[in-house]
Structure 1
Amino acid sequence: MKLVAVGKVKEKSMRSLLDEYAKRLSAYTKLEIIEVADEIAPESNSAAQNEQVMKKEGERLLAKIKDGEYVILLDLHGNAMSSEQLAAKIDQIFTYQTSQITFVIGGSLGLSDAVIKRADLRLQLSTMTFPHQLCRVLILEQIYRAFKIMNHEPYHK
């Protein structure tokens, strides 16, 4: 299991939460968290400049994804799933496709077309917008919840 995200988590409280879920997940899977550099994107950027930012960040993301990995892209335009549906999807991927699942979180401007094309599944966490750092915590919590559900263990209520 891998999480690849644009930018670094700087706040101690967020880092602490990420570490806590990584520790919990270690009972179920080996988790690798990879942060790639983000690009400076002033609000004064033109649309073309923003496209360049997304392209550069996308190239960095794609460089961390290997052939054979099942890529789940966190995307506002993706499919919404319940926790139970996500657990069933992860179980299905592990059983029938691969043991290598990579979750991807793009930068603040969004995702390049190349990253979107590489995705096997586009997952919407919510219709609300969250800071990218909080999305990392939310998806790790949901992955942990999925493993609890798959193992018929209490937690997910």
Structure 2
Amino acid sequence: MLLHIIARGKIARSPEAELVDRYAKRLTWPFRHTELPDVGGRVPPVAHTPVREVLLDERGKLLSSEAFAELLGRWRDEGVREARFLIGAADGHGDAARGQADLLLGFGAMTWPHLMVRAMLAEQLWRATSILAGHPYHRAG
């Protein structure tokens, strides 16, 4: 299953970009990172394969790393070909986008900079796939 981060704005050369790259290189699942303009622009069209869209949202559901891994594993086992994780611009996502998402996912009640969210999401994708593979990276406590 392709793990696809789609984010508004440019990450450029930054410590956050280095973190995204570091975790992307560790992933054994296919991975793509797409940047869209800060405003406007369209999310890439969906091919004729099952896709799940997850919007990162301050009001989103809080999942443990284990629950997130379980969700990705279930989607993989159901034949989902791509899981898209959308990070909005400064104003977030509109109501229409929220209504169409398969999941609204939050990283806590605090507001996080968009560049940090990309790095945190990349790490959580690596952690989730590591959990599913039985890798010792994740130490539940």
Aligned counterpart in structure 1 of residue 8 of structure 2, from 6, 30, 45: 6
Structure 1 distance, partners of 2:108, 2:13, is: 23
**8 Å contact 1:65–1:102 — kept in the other structure?**
no
Report the counterpart of residue 23 of structure 1 in structure 2: 25
Q: Quote how far apart the aligned CAs of 1:16 are.
A: 1.0
Alpha-carbon distance between aligned partners in 2 of 1:66 and 1:144, rounded to the nearest angstrom: 24
Give 1:66's match in structure 2, choosing from 46, 71, 78: 46
Unaligned runs of 5+ in 2: none
Partners of 2:23 and 2:117 lie apart in 1 by 13
Please identify the structure whose Cα radius of gyration is greater. 1
TM-score by length of structure 1 reads 0.81
Q: Percent identity?
A: 32
Residues 31-76 of structure 1, C-alpha deviations (whole Å, 9 max, x = no match): 110000013xxxxxxxxxxxxxxxx3xxx34x32515310111111
Return the offset for 1:127.
Answer: 1.2
Q: List structure 1 segments (4+ residues) > 2 angstroms apart after TM superposition.
A: none
Task: State the match for 2:90 in structure 1.
Answer: 108
Normalising by structure 2, what TM-score?
0.89
**Please, which moves more after superposition, 141-150 or 9-18?**
9-18
How many equivalent pairs are there?
Answer: 135
Which is bigger in relative contact order (C-alpha 8 A, separation at least 6)?
2
Q: Does 1:118 align with 2:120?
A: no
Query: Which protein is richer in helix relative to its size?
Result: 1
Tell me which of 107, 117, 120 is aligned to 1:138. Answer: 120
